[in-house]
Every structure is written in structure tokens, then in C-alpha cells.
Chains A and B, each alone.
Chain A
Amino acid sequence: MYMGIIEGTFPPRYRREVKYRNAFVGWRCKKCGRVFYTPRKRCECGSREIEEIELPREGRVVTRTVVRNPPKGYEKYAPYAIAIIELDVDGQKVRVLGQLADVDLDKIRTGMRVRATLRRIRAGRRGLIEYGVKRVPIEE
């Protein structure tokens, strides 16, 4: 899970994960075409030929939950919403979990269109700043 639910900011972990947290990266099985949003070595079809793809930035909210008592380090952002977002990857529906930003919590609706952007996930006064993907409403 690379959508901002990460504990601690250690340089080796940051280096390993930065690409997957900040960029809109997913994986696709070259054989059956199944898309994943977490890296894996092997597809359910048995194939080991998995390629990296860029995921679409736009999606729709399926369901959400509001975090009012956040873990340490996230107080500044509370209350915030975590949502399951459905992406359309070349006709295939892929569900991802992610944090919403710039949204009025009482106005989140199923089917609401959102767009992925880069935001701070967590940042203390010192040390590494964690950036990651959050999703903001698409204003009609």
C-alpha cells in the first residue's frame, strides 16, 4: 500500500519507495493484461512478465472513511478522508486506496470524480519530507 499509509521516514525506505509513492505507477501482466497497483513478481495467471505502467490520474470515489483521530505525525491534516478510488485503465476497473485532499468532508459522494496530485503525506520540522499521491475533486 503506497498511498500514504506509511510509518516512519527512513532514507533507505524512502529511496526504495519514492517512485511508487510519488509517481502514478502501476503494474500490468504482459500475458493476461491484469493491472495491479502494488508491485508483484507473479500474476494470478502464473505469468512472471510484469511491466510498469503509468496509471491514469482521474478516477471516481467508490467509498470513503473519515479519520478524526490520526496517528502521530498526521495531526495537522485531520480530519481527512481515505477513499477507495476506481480507475479505468484501458477499460479495466482498478481499485486503489488513497487519501483525499482539498475536499469538504460532507460533500464526498460515491461516483465523485477525483484527480491524483502530489501532496505532503507527513513532514516534521526536521528530516525527510514524505510526499505521495493524494486525490482532489475535479471541479465541474
Chain B
Amino acid sequence: MIASILGYGAYIPRYRIKAEEIAKVWGQDPDRVKLGLLVESKSVPGPDEDTATIAFEAAMQAIERAGIDKSLIGAVFVGSESHPYAVKPTGTILASALGLNPKHLRAASFEFACKAGTEAIQAVIGLINAGLIKYGLAIGADTAQGRPSDPLEYTAAAGGAAYVLGPKGDSKAIAEIERVESYVTDTPDFRRRQGAPYPEHGVRFTGEPAYFHHIINSVKLLLEKLGRDINEYDRFAFHSPNGKFVRNVARRLGIKDLSRVVSLDIVRKCGNFYSGSTLVGIARALDKANPGDKILAASFGSGAGSDAFSIVVKDRITEVKSIGKSVDRYLNRAKYIDYGTYARYRGILVMD
């Protein structure tokens, strides 16, 4: 066991746009989109929301559930590909707004396409095990943008989750991360150059050599090291670029019961949270967990790589579940907006 999860929190904006609404604007067939992606709608950040404000909501809840003295938090690491600034860390904004103690505080923005959040978790675990900090906040959040009319426009969504991590054996642990394995190669599947408003992707490279290859390798490595069969896990969270990829990777990994894959409902209703995707998935798995349950989670980041986590749930989970909002409460609230409002909120209309 390498570290404890003391508290967690997720956040998804209330606005949604349906696949039909986007398809109407571009003259595309909505049923083909919905069946092809297994995504019915996606979350849209409000006009005053961004990665920092999403991270803030998630972090407040994580700290509340952890029930620790927040002045003991020694790191705020935020993974995202939509940090508010190109240069100025998101963590400093959060630390100030959360009222953290500036003394001995580390803050950094992480970037690894969609797996920046799980990289942030690993960095915090490293600092804890090195004895440099007692507790740390690791966050993954995004307000992703797809080029208008691009297939990514149906899925690029907004959401995030935060984790308060501490040393193994901590009395406030709600779960323990028992092992992490990573797998990384240089893959040309998806990228965005500095200053470019939208990412570009090579369709041929996004599936097989990218998403599937990396997740399957990191998960196999994890199971091999733990000497465990995948069906010994109670719940699964995978990075979710769309529902179809998640369903396929689950089948190929040999998962027998797809209802244990908690990511499928999230991506179907709210789309892809990029750096927040796997972390919100883990949060939903924790929401549904009982003491002793095992959770397997695997992120994917283009470029490319995957981090696979094995998590064992502890008794204190039953105490914290009643605090704050579950992921399902966020999934089930929805204020549907039309494409015009979406365009205004997302800044697709240029005003200055």
C-alpha cells in the first residue's frame, strides 16, 4: 500500500447540450453520432466557469470529506489541458481561494493531455512517501474544446475531481492506493500547439495504437504485479473519450460484467472531462463502494500513456458518503442549452 485517499470530491457544471442540438447545426445525423460514440449529451461550463473554478468546487468537497486541518496540506497539483493561464499556475489561485497555509506549500500545473490528473496523483504520492509533505491535493479538471463541427465537439466537456492524499495507514483513510503502474510511448494521436485554439487528431492513431494499446498495457502490468484476475475487482473507471472506447476496452480486458464500469453512464450523459475523466470515474466508484471493495482505474493521455491504479476501500467510506454531493447528483442535474447559448458560453463568438 503506497498511499491513502482521505477525501474526494467531484464537480460537473449544470449546463448540458444534446448531441441532437450540435448535429442540427452541422447537418449531421444525430442517431449515427449517438450510436457511434455512445454519448447523448455533454456538460458545458457556465460563462464564469473554468478549470480553476471546477477544481475549487471539487477540492472544497475533498477537504470537507477528509476532515483534516487544511493547513497541513503541503501540495496543490492540478492536471489539465485547459489551465486558465499558459503561464501562471492554477494551484496558486486554488490555494488562495481554499485558504491554505502558504508556508511549505507546493503548487504546480501538470500537463499530459488527458492523464495529467493521474500524474498529479502520483506526484503527490511521491512527496508523501519522501516525507516532504503529510497531506496533498491532487486534482484533474478540464473545460475541453473541440473545433466546431469536428467529431470531438460532441464529447469535449467540462468536469473534474480532487483527492486529498496522505500516508499509508492514516486513520482518516477512506481507501488505499495499493499500486500504480504506468506505460508510456511517443504516439502521434492528438496534440495542440502553443497558441492554437483547438487540438488536432489523427483518426488512424487515436484508437488502436493509442487508447487501447496503452490502457491494456498499464492494466496488464498492474494485474501481473499484483497476481490478480481483473474480475476480482468490484468497480472500474477508465478514461472516457466516448462510450464506445470504454465498452471495448472493458471487453478486451476480459471484464465480464459491464455494469461494474462506472464510467459508461458518466460519458453517456456528460461527455469527456479530459484530465478530469478518470478522476470523476474513481469518485463515482467510491460513491458506490462498500468497505473492502476493490477499484481498478486506468487513465489515458494522448502523446501517449496510461496510469493504472489499484484501490482498496476502507471502513471510513461509509462516514464520508453522506457529506456533500455524489457524482450521480451532478449527473442527474441538467440545464439544457441551445447551440447559440453554448457558442456564447464557450467563447466561440469573438467579441474583442
Contacts and interface: CB of A to CB of B under 8 A. Distances in A.
B48 A134 contact: yes
Interface of A, helix, strand, loop or mixed by DSSP = mixed
Interface stretch (A36-44, A83-91, A112-120): A112-120
Contact of B351 (A75, A101, A104): A75
Interface string B327-352: 00100010100000000110100011
A130 B57 CA distance: 17
A131 B53 contact: yes
Contact of A23 (B49, B84, B97, B335): B97
Interface residues of A, number: 25
B49 A22 contact: no
Given A76-B47, A118-B56, A19 B96 contact: yes
Interface string B206-246: 00000000000000000000000000000000000000000
B321 interface: no
B190 to A, nearest CB: 25
A87 B96 CA distance: 22
Interface string A108-131: 000000000111110011000101
Interface in A3-31: 18-19, 22-25
B85 A129 contact: yes
A102 B14 contact: yes
B50 interface: yes
B97 A119 contact: no
Interface string B57-101: 100100000000000000000000000110000000100111100
A34 to B, nearest CB: 22
A39 to B, nearest CB: 16
B333 A139 contact: yes
Nearest to B325: A139
A11 to B, nearest CB: 11
A17 to B, nearest CB: 11
Contacts of B14: 102
B351 A131 contact: no
A139 B326 CA distance: 13
B52 interface: yes
A54 B99 contact: yes
Given A77-B48, A117-B60, A120-B53, 11 more contacts: A23-B98, A24-B99, A54-B99, A75-B351, A76-B351, A101-B46, A119-B46, A120-B50, A121-B48, A131-B52, A131-B93
29 contacts: A18-B96, A22-B93, A22-B96, A23-B97, A23-B98, A25-B99, A76-B47, A76-B351, A117-B53, A117-B56, A118-B53, A118-B56, A118-B97, A119-B46, A119-B48, A119-B49, A119-B53, A120-B48, A120-B49, A120-B50, A121-B48, A124-B352, A129-B50, A129-B84, A131-B52, A131-B53, A131-B97, A139-B329, A139-B333
